[in-house]
Chains A and B, each alone.
Chain A
Amino acid sequence: METAVFYVLATIAVASAVLLVLFRNPVYSALSLVATLFAVAGLFVLLNAYFLAAVQIIVYAGAVMVLFLFVIMLLNLGHSEALESTVGRYRLTGVIFLCALLVAQLTAVGTRQLRGPVAENEALRTENVQTLGKLLYTDFLFPFEVASIILLVALIGVVVLVKRETPETT
């Protein structure tokens, strides 16, 4: 049963990720990204990582992608010519960057495979939220705080950019 569900979710995730790249209409692309995010959240549930699944939906599907859609709709990026002129210039950079990312990903997965299977954390499986919270505030406190500072910097950056005074035009 679990294996069957895994393959269904995995197929949806990969298929909609591919569609995301192939669609010419940015709204369709955004929606297939939402489908991918859902499928991945489903995979998290299969792994008993309920917290991660919920956060994935809240943050990515619920907030980030809604803002993406918002921007796409406001700018009405429906025409492929408009898309060509902006994306076309950066195509080579994008391909190189993504290839590097793919190599890094494969290396990471490969080295983990060589080290043997990961020991399953019983506490994480049964008391997911509590254990995760404790780990974040003890063993992983430093990366956790660094991540929050990065977010804070981005937040302040946005405020500064928006608040920047424009010279009087009249």
Chain B
Amino acid sequence: MDYALESLIKIAIVLGVIITTVAYVVLAERKVSAYIQNRLGPNRVGPWGLLQPLADGLKFILKEDVIPNHVNKAIYLIAPAAILVPALMGFAVVPFGDTLMVVGREVQLIISDADIGVLYILAVSSLGVYGVVLGGWASNNKYALMGGVRASAQMISYELSLGLSLIGVLMIAESLKLSDVVNLQATGTVLGVLPAWFVFNQPIACLVFMVSVFAETNRLPFDLPEAEQELVAGYHAEYSSMKFAMFFMAEYAHMITASALIATLFFGGWHLPGVDPTDSSFALSVLKVLVFAVKTAFFLFVFIWVRWTVPRFRYDQVMRLGWKYLLPLALLNVLLTGLYLTLNR
């Protein structure tokens, strides 16, 4: 019973943190884009515009919810949920810290340290496409359908590279548990000076993973499913009010999970070089959580930074990059890692 209660509390906290972060990442996106374009961005609601997310949320809830007559109603209503739920589920196996002593109990800072951690992530991320496809189809609108079709083709193509890029990491870690992957990165060094983070061990895998994740989250330069200039808004063109907000939140929740994964798999998770990873005093445990939060925030910033810097690819370029460059690169990485491991046995 204790275990169940502990898990429930952790789930509640993580969900709360993610939803709040979603709101503030939206604000961060508007602010960062404004500064990149030499503007000020939202600065009217609260100090420095910090209460803007509240105003936005209120607006989304109070707007009229239009359900067009030409949609397939059942699936039209399912789609926003089908995209938001997998986006939030992904975080369940991400370790956001080591352990923390709370009222005399040693709590592991991860919702479920499942044996199949990495596979779980691949499974959940492969489900994200349903919301996009169903939303596009149910809207009964040619632009929305085009967006849905593009999304499914793009996500299936990049899922392969995503999965294959992780195999190199798994071959070294010899475990699918994300806590094992982080612990391995927290011990030892690469070339004597660098921390044993997988970005140094597996640079090719890191590159392929990051590019594929951009494609999986439908962010620029891979935002063809919603390309405004060609498809109005793609798969969510017919959605309004809170249902549109759910698509919007899902995109940012996907970004948060993706950033947390990049930090966990390739940048040492909660590990900070110079801090003893085995020391689990209260202050250091909190520090580890903060380190993880800062790393995740940095990759969220990279997502935004790239969006306002790089223009959108053409559709054939997206497909060519996925199948002709990333996939062979990921396969090559698996081969090289295998060779290295055999020779160093």
Does B129 have its Cβ within 8 Å of any Cβ on chain A?
Answer: yes
One of B151-159, B195-203, B276-284, B331-339 at the interface: B151-159
Grouping DSSP codes into helix (H, G, I), strand (E, B) and loop, the B interface class, with mixed when no group exceeds half, is helix
Contact between chains at A128 and B156 (CB < 8 Å): no
Known: A67-B156, A70-B149. A27 touches B137 (CB 8 A): yes
Does B301 have its Cβ within 8 Å of any Cβ on chain A?
Answer: no
> Which B residues touch A61, using CB under 8 A?
123, 126-127
Against A, the Cβ 8 Å flags (1 = close, 0 = not) of B140-171 are 00000100110011011001000100000000
Taken together as a complex, chains A and B put the C-alpha atoms of A57 and B125 apart, in Å, by 10
> Which A residues touch B123, using CB under 8 A?
54, 57-58, 61-62
B224 to chain A, nearest CB (A): 15
By size class, the interface of chain A is 20 to 34
Taken together as a complex, chains A and B put the C-alpha atoms of A127 and B126 apart, in Å, by 25
Q: Which residue of B130, B134, B148 has the most chain A CB atoms within 10 A of its CB atom?
A: B130
Does A6 have its Cβ within 8 Å of any Cβ on chain B?
Answer: no
Does B287 have its Cβ within 8 Å of any Cβ on chain A?
Answer: no
Against B, the Cβ 8 Å flags (1 = close, 0 = not) of A1-42 are 000000000000000000000000001000100100000000
Does B244 have its Cβ within 8 Å of any Cβ on chain A?
Answer: no
B338 to chain A, nearest CB (A): 14
Does A46 have its Cβ within 8 Å of any Cβ on chain B?
Answer: no
Does A74 have its Cβ within 8 Å of any Cβ on chain B?
Answer: yes
> Which A residues touch B149, using CB under 8 A?
70, 73-74
Taken together as a complex, chains A and B put the C-alpha atoms of A50 and B93 apart, in Å, by 14
Taken together as a complex, chains A and B put the C-alpha atoms of A31 and B123 apart, in Å, by 17
Find residues 126-153 in chain A having any chain B CB closer than 8 Å to their own CB.
127-129
Taken together as a complex, chains A and B put the C-alpha atoms of A27 and B78 apart, in Å, by 13
Contact between chains at A69 and B133 (CB < 8 Å): yes
> Which A residues touch B130, using CB under 8 A?
34, 66, 69
Taken together as a complex, chains A and B put the C-alpha atoms of A73 and B75 apart, in Å, by 13
> Which A residues touch B115, using CB under 8 A?
50-51, 127-129
Taken together as a complex, chains A and B put the C-alpha atoms of A46 and B129 apart, in Å, by 26
Does A123 have its Cβ within 8 Å of any Cβ on chain B?
Answer: no
Query: Contact partner of A54 among B116, B148, B153, B156, CB < 8 A?
Result: B116
Does A83 have its Cβ within 8 Å of any Cβ on chain B?
Answer: no
> Which A residues touch B137, using CB under 8 A?
27, 69, 73
> Which B residues touch A55, using CB under 8 A?
119
> Which B residues touch A54, using CB under 8 A?
116, 119-120, 122-123
Known: A27-B137, A50-B114, A54-B119. A70 touches B152 (CB 8 A): yes
Does B176 have its Cβ within 8 Å of any Cβ on chain A?
Answer: yes
B127 to chain A, nearest CB (A): 6
Does A106 have its Cβ within 8 Å of any Cβ on chain B?
Answer: no
Chain B residue total in the interface (Cβ 8 A): 27
Does A63 have its Cβ within 8 Å of any Cβ on chain B?
Answer: yes
Q: Which residue of B75, B115, B163 has the most chain A CB atoms within 10 A of its CB atom?
A: B115
Which chain A residue has the least Cβ–Cβ distance from B120? A54
Contact between chains at A62 and B126 (CB < 8 Å): yes
B146 to chain A, nearest CB (A): 10
Known: A51-B119, A73-B133, A128-B115. A58 touches B152 (CB 8 A): no
Known: A61-B127, A73-B149. A66 touches B133 (CB 8 A): yes
Known: A27-B75, A58-B122, A129-B176. A66 touches B116 (CB 8 A): no
Contact between chains at A51 and B116 (CB < 8 Å): yes
Contact between chains at B119 and A62 (CB < 8 Å): no
> Which B residues touch A31, using CB under 8 A?
75, 134
Query: Contact partner of A62 among B114, B116, B148, B159, CB < 8 A?
Result: B159
Contact between chains at B126 and A63 (CB < 8 Å): yes
> Which B residues touch A67, using CB under 8 A?
152, 156
Taken together as a complex, chains A and B put the C-alpha atoms of A69 and B137 apart, in Å, by 10
A76 to chain B, nearest CB (A): 9
> Which A residues touch B114, using CB under 8 A?
50
> Which B residues touch A62, using CB under 8 A?
122-123, 126-127, 129, 159
Contact between chains at A73 and B127 (CB < 8 Å): no
Which chain B residue has the least Cβ–Cβ distance from A55? B119
Known pairs A62-B159, A69-B137; list 4 more (Cβ under 8 Å): A50-B114, A69-B130, A69-B152, A73-B145
Which residues in B have some Cβ–Cβ distance to A below 8 Å? 72, 75, 114-116, 119-120, 122-123, 126-127, 129-130, 133-134, 136-137, 145, 148-149, 152-153, 155-156, 159, 163, 176
